[in-house]
Chain A
């Protein structure tokens, strides 16, 4: 119940295309869903996060879509750029809880 399942494991998108990464969870008590971006040799950094009281959150070219009934959330990267090439992790937690549960990660490559 504590797992977050992320797909795909790797993704290749052409420059200017839309990148979509999906995550699914089981624990309905989760109420905080962040996405982290990690460049090679670096630590992950928070990209965007959503709470379940909204179905979508947009920050620039990055959008989280949240489907509470399906227990799924996804990251959409519009107009994907080579600089977006990185590993992306979804995660989930219960507000106030000390632990964040991470998905398995998606290695995104944007071809120029």
Chain B
């Protein structure tokens, strides 16, 4: 089945540790996105990538890093510099520019202890 796969679904880490969230898509989409979801704040854009080896900061990029070495993959690293990393993280992809529809993965819930 085509779609977005995020892993792990749940992740616990100690303060000060970097963590990497995986996002893989088999939809052959060019654009990929990372959003952070917190209660009452909607979905906030962290980073996005339109093509391989290129990515742009979103609205809340501080404390996060990404890479886009393959079309199918867009991993997100939550670094120790992120002040409030506990959140639900969503990866998405989008087809051509004419299509506004985002396809989301099932999310990764990160809890920092």
Contact = CB atoms under 8 A, between A and B. Distances in A.
- SS class of chain B's interface: helix, strand, loop or mixed? strand
Looking at B43, B48, B94, which has the most chain A CB atoms within 10 Å of its CB? B43
B104 A44 contact: yes
Interface stretch (B14-22, B66-74, B95-103): B95-103
User: Is the interface on chain A under 10, 10 to 19, 20 to 34, or 35 or more residues?
Assistant: 20 to 34
Given A32-B100, A34-B101, A41-B106, A98 B42 contact: no
Contact of A99 (B42, B58, B105): B58
A42 B107 contact: yes
Interface of A: 6, 9, 32, 34, 36, 41-46, 49, 89, 93, 95-96, 98-100, 102-105
Q: Which 7 A-B pairs have the closest CB atoms?
A: A43-B104, A104-B42, A102-B43, A102-B42, A32-B100, A96-B97, A46-B101
